[in-house]
Amino acid sequence: MQPMALNIGEPLLSSFPEATVRYPGYRDESVDRVYPIGGQNASVLVQVTRPAKGIKNKALRWVSLVSGEVSAPFLLAEGEQVACVEPSSGRLLTHAASQDQSGEKFYQWRIYAGNPAESAVELQSEIRQLFGYPYNGSALPSFLPNNRLLLQGGRDLKVVDLDSGEVAFSLDYVFQTHSHCLAHLSPDRRYLAVYFTHDAPAKRLILDLQSFDLVHCSSIPDRTFEAFSADGKHLVSLQGTKLVWLSTQSWQPARTDEIPGKWAGTGSPFHVLDERYIINSRGSLLDLQANEIVTELRSDGIAGNPSLAPSDAWVGNCLLRTDTSSAIKVVACTQLPASE
């Protein structure tokens, strides 16, 4: 059981325009991750690393896919880096490890708002949360509806109300290991799928993040890979050469596709573009209607594997890629085939 990282993209955003933006950057500037931001000025927030005298400083750039404008780097504090971005508003959450005077470690979360192209970037609030295990960065937090935050630190899961600053919901020892985030968040931010794999068979639990109720629990085969559909109506489960579409209303199978063994392989994380197209982490685009692989996505002029997070991201059927291998940096948005 190896789920994708929490949030590979923001499927409910409207499609982004196809665009390629180039800008002169620092020679050693490399991209850590890209975050799509919706609205009239569709843009990409890019977190970069800028090595300097042995220190790997983090900085942010806002890249407009509409105007092609690129902001000057916005420098983060030492040890601070982006944890997640709210795609509709552009608000961003950062985190950094710290400790108090007694030596007890805690995690400092900061929320920023603004876009240098439109307004100043301002610090809105700070949250200090203690966790029993180190935050490792592989589990991505997320903004939730009703001005709440979903946070993970080590094995613990918390929902924080930003209006009151209080913890609205908490689950301790949810995650088995520090190195993987065994969870999926639905595109509408309502459901959280959590996986327990330390006992056989593996178990899937679905939490409703509005009511905090457990709405579904079931056993699943080993080496199952799952992802929510772009419209949030299905949780799609890859089990061998079967692709099972679970309705998020009943959590029962609504559809089952038999897929080519070449695409399924031994299993891998995948992204659902729509009801017709899905793509796996090896870059193979599968047309479910024709039941055949239609594209083997490769790095055509863009460095790195374009099918994988974290340095690339999906917005529905739009793939955001970067190339920082030379002095001229590239941010590109490409649309893949989609159902009519």
Tell me if 108 is assigned to some domain: yes
What does the pLDDT average to over 35-62? Answer: 82
Half-sphere exposure of residue 273, counting CA atoms within 13 Å on the CB side? Answer: 23
Out of 91-100, 126-135, 198-207, 219-228, least confident range: 126-135
pLDDT band at 3 (very low <50, low <70, confident <90, very high): very low
> What is the rounded CA–CA span in Å between residue 199 and residue 16?
42
Identify the pLDDT of residue 254: 97
Tell me if 272 is assigned to some domain: yes
Tell me if 8 is assigned to some domain: no
Tell me if 4 is assigned to some domain: no
pLDDT band at 338 (very low <50, low <70, confident <90, very high): low
Examine the pLDDT at 246 and tell me if it is beyond 90: yes
Examine the pLDDT at 178 and tell me if it is beyond 50: no
> What is the rounded CA–CA span in Å between residue 126 and residue 93?
9
- Show Cβ contacts of residue 25 under 8 Å, excluding neighbours closer than 6 positions: 48, 324, 327, 328, 329
The pTM of the full predicted model, rounded to 2 decimals, is: 0.82
Tell me if 276 is assigned to some domain: yes
- Beta strands 167-171 and 183-185: pairing type? unpaired
Out of 141-155, 203-217, 306-320, least confident range: 306-320
pLDDT band at 214 (very low <50, low <70, confident <90, very high): very high
Share of the chain above pLDDT 90, in %: 22
308-337, pLDDT tens digit by residue?
434 677 777 788 888 887 888 888 888 887
Identify the pLDDT of residue 223: 78
pLDDT band at 299 (very low <50, low <70, confident <90, very high): very low
Tell me if 10 is assigned to some domain: no
What residue type is assigned to position 188 of the chain?
Answer: D
Tell me if 7 is assigned to some domain: no
Q: How many domains does the chain have?
A: 1
Tell me if 1 is assigned to some domain: no
Identify the pLDDT of residue 70: 92
pLDDT band at 125 (very low <50, low <70, confident <90, very high): confident
pLDDT band at 118 (very low <50, low <70, confident <90, very high): confident
Q: Say which residue, 268 or 172, is predicted with more confidence.
A: 268
Burial pattern 309-320, b for ≥16 Cβ within 10 A else e, equals bebbbbbbbbbb
Examine the pLDDT at 79 and tell me if it is beyond 60: yes
Identify the pLDDT of residue 203: 83
Structural domain that includes position 125: 19-335
CATH number at residue 23: 2.130.10.10
CB 304, CB 32: distance < 8 Å: no
As a whole number of Å, the CA-based R_g of the chain is 20
What does the pLDDT average to over 290-298? Answer: 82
Share of the chain above pLDDT 70, in %: 80
First to last CA, the chain: 33
Return the top range by mean pLDDT from 117-131, 189-203, 233-247. 233-247
Examine the pLDDT at 305 and tell me if it is beyond 60: no
